[in-house]
Chain A
Amino acid sequence: MNIEALLASSIDGLMLGFVYGLAAMGLTLIFGVMKVINLGHGPIIALGMFIVYLVATQLGLNPYLGLVIALLLGLAFGIVVYFLAVHRVINAPELTTLLATFSVNLMIIGVGTVVFTTTPRALAIDLGTWQSGVITVLGTKAVAVVIAVIVTGALYAFLYRTRVGKSIRAVANNRAAAELMGINSTWVLALSFGIGTMLAMISGGLLATLFSFTILSGGIYELKSFVIVVLGGLGNPTGALVGGIVLGLLEGITTIFIPVGWVPVIEYVVFVLIILVRPTGLLGAR
């Protein structure tokens, strides 16, 4: 196998890894703050795809503008879902919140299937290509990487530089202590769920600029997000981005040597190994 093909495949995997990382960041943020595994994550990613698609095809606007709308709607949707499905069971055993978010998953899939059907949709975006030898980089992928980096940077600035962001970290660290310090933990939890949902929707929107999709497409990215979250460390947004990049690279490199159908097997073997050998993930939880 020639080295150029390996390089080309690695670059493809690396670029996709940034978007995977962004999707996983939403999942890990929610877990980190409130110890809730959001099983509605996949359908929310798919909703992000449809928001960008509808903005581009129905409103005739630039699909990247759809990302801004996905950001706002994602935040609002997440807060609503938190109060409707999660808030009342936030202190219940983990299985209860798991079931609550799973019901959100089923409802989105059910309504989404009726409204959007399962017919594949695709956006026709051509941002050109950059080619060198056998390496071809699509403009859309490059833009997706840049946006994923910007969103990650903005999330960090928000969590570390703003008062609200610090409140979120405080609640994640010790909810009871944060409440004693006068932080309204209910709103912080709702906001965190909103931000997690928002990140999932943005990643969905970016994926819609790259590939065709249906309302069921989020499922595969939800599964990848679980692997990434475990890889990077539960509750650790930096770990999610690193985990995404590692998973993307792993996909890129392995597919050159083995049939692509074996990639999920390798991913889940890694998933199990990390849980067994290093349950805190590569970067560990904070």
Chain B
Amino acid sequence: MSNKIPRLLWLAALFVLAVVVVACAPAEPTKAPTVAKKIVIGFTASQTGKLNVESKKQIQGLELWKDHVVKAGGIKLKDGTVLTPEFKFYDDESSTDRVQALYTKLINDDKVDFLISPYSSGSAKAAAVVSEQYGKIMITAGAADDATMEQGFKNTYQTYTPASRYLTGAIDLLAKFDPAAKKIAIVHEKDSFSTSVAKAADPYAKSKGYNVVLLEGYDSGTTDFAPFINKIIAAAPDAIIGGGHFADGTTFAKQLYEKKVTAKVVALLVAPPEPKFTEIGDAAQNIVGPSQWEPLATFSEDAAKKAGFAWYGLSAADFTKDYKAKYNEEPSYHSAGGYVAALILQKAIEDAGSTKPDQVRAALDKMDLLTFYGRVKFSTEAKTHGKQVAHDMVYMQWQKDASGKLVKQMVWPLEAKTADWQPRK
């Protein structure tokens, strides 16, 4: 019995010692517990109506981003939270009235965390009214109107180069390749985006010494351009610039061709960069289009390093490859715009380490980076808060290759060109 008690004491002492040793041992670095959450991003898509071509591309870009994030295991925050993105969207039928009703629904009923804008300046403007009212962060894609971003918004951030810089490059192109040219006609859709473009192009052309022989707007949904074309023929301009969106721009280009208008430069908004534009056949030849991005763009991590910018996301080549694999078609700048809008949001959430609006907003305000789509930086001035200040346009032209097939070439700026500009015949 007497032997047993010390033995028990020894065992108890050893046990206590073991516990103390374990307790005092330097703790292994603890992994923060992984918390999986979903993050709901809301938007409307113009699945029907006049904007359906461009909007479809934008949505495809967004869907590809979601695939990539899900494949990578979600958006990982520093505190261990992993966010899995989910989309909530409705068809807005290309109608701004429906946009306002649906964005209200997305915020109030669907309780989305963040918003992406619908395609087009008019629709994005309608959505921004709602998102600002409710203080929801919205990244605009496919919206370039200057006026929308000059209202002192606090929660709206623009992905696209603003409209005021859309067609000025086409005027520079004309000056470079045809110094003898004197006359320019500007015919544009009377929506907020195209009017912004025309209002900026007109003084720019005049400042370069051109005579603007026609400056006229047409109603959205116009299908008969004969009255404008007859005026253009009478004025015999060297260049015609303007247009609006895909449906009217395509019709305008087709009717210019049918009426045998011979201006050397025809640069139209939005429609030409879309691969579907070539469905009008020879009428598409040598039409120039300003583009926010093209698959031939050369933005890369190395370029970012050289220029001293932070790089984020995948390369243009990977984006194009994955997009083609998923949709079996070339991405357009509308596709890239959709992808990058979500990418910007992802980066802001990662930088903020949170989905709290104030922190994400602060991260967006600080953002200055290079992506496959180009540089992204937002204005932080009170009046123009959120306006895109760093991204630049490129200009493409449909040219015929040796086999007579229409192919897209980059013609401006010269540093980005893949072929020499060709005058329209």
At the interface, yes or no: A103 with Cβ under 8 Å from chain B?
no
Residues of chain B in range 217-276 having any CB-CB distance to chain A below 8 Å? 217-219, 221, 223-224, 226-228, 230-231, 233-234, 247, 251, 258-260
Stretch among B48-56, B317-325, B357-365 lining the A interface: B48-56
Give CA–CA (A2, B232) in the complex, Å. Answer: 12
Contact between B258 and A129, CB atoms less than 8 A apart: yes
Binary flags per residue of B47-86, CB closer than 8 Å to A gives 1, else 0: 1111010000000000000000000000000000000000
Contact of B258 with A119 in the complex, beta carbons under 8 Å: no
Distance in angstroms from A7 CB to nearest chain B CB is 9
Q: What are the residues of chain B within 8 A of A203 when measuring CB–CB?
A: none
As a 0/1 sequence over residues 184 to 215 of chain A, the CB contacts with chain B under 8 angstroms (1 = contact) are: 00000000000000000000000000111110
Cβ contact within 8 Å between B231 and A255? yes
Given A117-B49, A260-B216: A122 and B251 within 8 A (CB)?
Answer: yes
Interface status of B371 (Cβ within 8 A of chain A)? no
Contact (Cβ within 8 A) A2 B259:
no
**Quick check: A255 and B227 within 8 Å, CB to CB?**
yes
**Chain B residues near A217 (CB, 8 Å)?**
223
For window 121-145 of chain A, which residues contact chain B by CB distance below 8 Å? Answer: 122, 124, 129, 131, 134, 136, 138
Contact check, B190 vs A261: say whether CB atoms are below 8 A apart. Answer: yes
| Residue B161 is within 8 A (CB to CB) of chain A in the complex | no
B223 touches A8 (CB 8 A): no
Beta-carbon contact of A211 and B227 below 8 Å: no
> Residue of B at shortest CB range from A133?
B233
Decide: B217 and A261 in contact? CB cutoff 8 A.
Answer: yes
A8's nearest neighbour on chain B, judged by CB, is B230
Q: Is B94 an interface residue (CB 8 A)?
A: yes
13 more contacts with CB within 8 A, not counting A12-B230, A118-B49, are: A9-B227, A113-B48, A117-B52, A118-B50, A118-B94, A129-B260, A134-B230, A136-B259, A210-B224, A211-B223, A211-B224, A259-B216, A261-B218
**Given the complex, which residues of B lie within 8 Å of A153, measured CB to CB?**
none
* Complex contacts, B216 vs chain A, CB 8 Å: 259-261
Cβ-based interface call for A92 (8 A): no
B93 touches A (CB below 8 Å): yes
| Chain B residue nearest in CB terms to A207 | B223
Give the residues in chain B near A120, CB-CB below 8 Å: 50, 223, 247
The answer, among A1, A129, A131, A252, for a CB contact under 8 Å with B234, is A1
Other-chain residue from B49, B224, B279 in contact with A16 (beta carbon distance below 8 A):
B224
A–B Cβ pairs within 8 angstroms, 25 of them: A5-B231, A5-B233, A5-B234, A9-B226, A9-B227, A9-B230, A12-B227, A12-B230, A16-B226, A117-B47, A117-B49, A118-B49, A118-B94, A119-B50, A124-B279, A134-B234, A136-B258, A212-B247, A213-B223, A214-B49, A251-B227, A252-B227, A256-B231, A259-B216, A261-B216
Contacts of B223 in A (CB 8 A): 120, 211-213, 217
Closest chain B residue to A264 by CB distance?
B219
Provide the residues of chain A in CB contact with B231, threshold 8 Å.
5, 9, 255-256
| Chain A residue at minimal CB-CB distance from B227 | A255
Residue A179 CB within 8 A of the other chain:
no
**Please, which residue of chain A has its CB at the minimum distance from the CB of B218?**
A260
Shortest CB-to-CB span from A176 to chain B, Å, is 45
Contact between A214 and B50, CB atoms less than 8 A apart? yes
Contact assessment for A256 and B230 in the assembled complex, using a CB-CB cutoff below 8 Å: yes
Structural contact, B230 and A119, CB atoms closer than 8 A: no
Q: Is the CB of B234 within 8 A of A256?
A: yes
Chain B residue at minimum C-beta to C-beta distance from A5:
B234
CB nearest neighbor in A for B93: A118
**Interface residue ranges of A67-122 to B (CB < 8 Å):** 113, 117-120, 122
CA distance A16 to B230 in the complex (A): 14
Question: Roughly how many angstroms separate A9 CA and B232 CA in the complex, as a whole number?
Answer: 11
A134–B230 Cα distance when bound, in Å, is 8
Q: How far is the CB of B373 from chain A (nearest CB, A)?
A: 27
Are B219 and A212 within 8 A (Cβ)?
no
Cβ-closest chain B residue relative to A251: B227
Chain B residues within an 8 Å CB radius of A1: 234
CB closest chain-A residue, reference B190: A261
Q: B22-51 vs A: 1/0 string, CB under 8 Å?
A: 000000000000000000000000011110
Chain B positions 183 through 217: 1 when the CB is less than 8 Å from some CB of chain A, otherwise 0: 00000001000000000000000000000000011
B residues in contact with A131, CB < 8 Å: 260
* Contact partners of B234 in chain A: CB under 8 A: 1-2, 4-5, 134, 256
| Cα–Cα, bound, A263→B226 (Å) | 14
**Chain A 1-27 interface mask (CB, 8 Å, partner B; 1/0):** 110110011001000100000000000
- CB-nearest residue of chain B relative to A129? B258
Complex CA–CA separation, A282 to B267 (angstroms) = 45
Q: Tell me which of A211, A212, A255 has the highest count of chain B C-beta atoms within 10 A of its own C-beta.
A: A212
Measured CA separation A213–B230 after assembly (Å): 22
B260 lies within 8 A of A136 (CB): yes
- In the complex, which of the residues B48, B217, B219, B233 contacts A119, with contact meaning CB atoms closer than 8 Å? B48
A-B pairs with lowest CB-CB distance, top 3: A5-B234, A117-B48, A255-B227
Shortest beta-carbon distance, A264 to chain B, in Å? 9
A4, A119, A138, A260: which contacts B227 (Cβ < 8 A)?
A260
| Chain A residues, Cβ within 8 Å of B49 | 117-119, 214
Give the distance in Å from the alpha carbon of A31 to the alpha carbon of B265 in the complex. 50
Report which of B52, B219, B230, B259 forms a contact with A255, defined as CB distance below 8 A: B230
